[in-house]
Amino acid sequence: MGAFFILQSENKSATVGGVKLLLDFSRESISVKVKNGEVRVLGQGLVIERFDEDEMKIVGKIENIETNMNRGAGAK
């Protein structure tokens, strides 16, 4: 399992590292479970450009990225 990170390129793509599970997938929202919480990408026409063991790259018109991390996650 790779390290957790989020890499956003303007509002066109976002790469999330350390993805454990895909929780929800629609054209407007993609949620994934990462090591210490969840990441939710909101937008329009969202497509998973790459989905493998470590990373997920999402393309489309990205409007917001929400994170819900467990307490103490950032301290590690």
Judged by the rule CB under 8 A, the positions of this chain that interact with other proteins are 21-27, 47-53
Instruction: Decide whether 7 or 23 has the Cβ nearer to other proteins.
Output: 23
**Residue 75: CB minimum distance to other proteins, A:** 29
Residue 68, number of CB atoms within 10 A of its CB: 11
Instruction: Decide whether 3 or 21 has the Cβ nearer to other proteins.
Output: 21
**Residue 28: CB minimum distance to other proteins, A:** 10
Integer Cα distance of 54 and 71 in angstroms: 23
Tokens of 50: 């790459």
